Amino acid sequence: MPPREIISPSAIATRVAALGREIDARLPAGPLTVVGVLRGAFMFMADLVRAIPRDLTCDFLGVRSYGDATVSSGVVEITSDLGAPIAGRQVLLVEDIADTGLTLRYLHGLLAARGPAAVYTCVLLAKATYPTSAPKIDFVGFEAPDAYVVGYGLDAGQLYRNLPGICALEP
């Protein structure tokens, strides 16, 4: 059974444009370093940076906590590190989904140790069960449904990233 679309491409485009305006309005003036978490956030980040009307640079962190499974392993591994220093910079961390808080907690600690002026977080999807003890999320695209989601960069076993909308993967 193919994945069932739950958030349309047009709804995503509308919300990403609004997020770009919100980020520009709420963050301090000046340049921004946008750090995307690979691989899931690459499509979201590409659209988001085009919607932020200010000078910015882009960088990426590769992490893995799911591998090819649909349940987190409980361990975050860095697979690719930043290409440039972030000391003194305003940093916007862009993630595909906030679920257990494990990855965001790890990444906030990693980035904070590098001396940025501030680290803000933007996620495409946030689960209602995201722990309050986890790092604060400053910008949320959509509340995530209680389902395993794919599409718009999110995958299951490296498949479905190319779907233009957010879809629920049926068991």
The set of residues, in sequence order, having a beta carbon less than 8 Å from that of 113 and lying 6+ positions away, is none
- Domain with residue 112: its CATH number is 3.40.50.2020
Short-list 32, 91, 37, CA closest to 61: 37
How far apart are the C-alpha atoms of 154 and 96, rounded to whole Å?
Answer: 7
* Residue 24 forms part of a structural domain: no
pLDDT in tens, the chain (171 residues): 789 999 999 999 999 999 999 999 999 999 999 999 999 999 999 999 999 999 999 999 999 875 554 555 577 889 999 999 999 999 999 999 999 899 999 999 999 999 999 999 999 999 999 998 999 999 999 999 889 999 999 999 999 999 999 999 987
* Residue 94 forms part of a structural domain: yes
What's the domain count of the chain? 1
* Residue 116 forms part of a structural domain: yes
* Residue 18 forms part of a structural domain: no
Catalytically annotated residue among 47, 68, 96, 99: 99
* Residue 10 forms part of a structural domain: no
CB 90 within 8 A of CB 28: yes
* Residue 142 forms part of a structural domain: yes
101: how many CB neighbours lie within 10 A of its CB?
Answer: 18
For the question of residue 99 being annotated catalytic, the response is yes
* Residue 56 forms part of a structural domain: yes
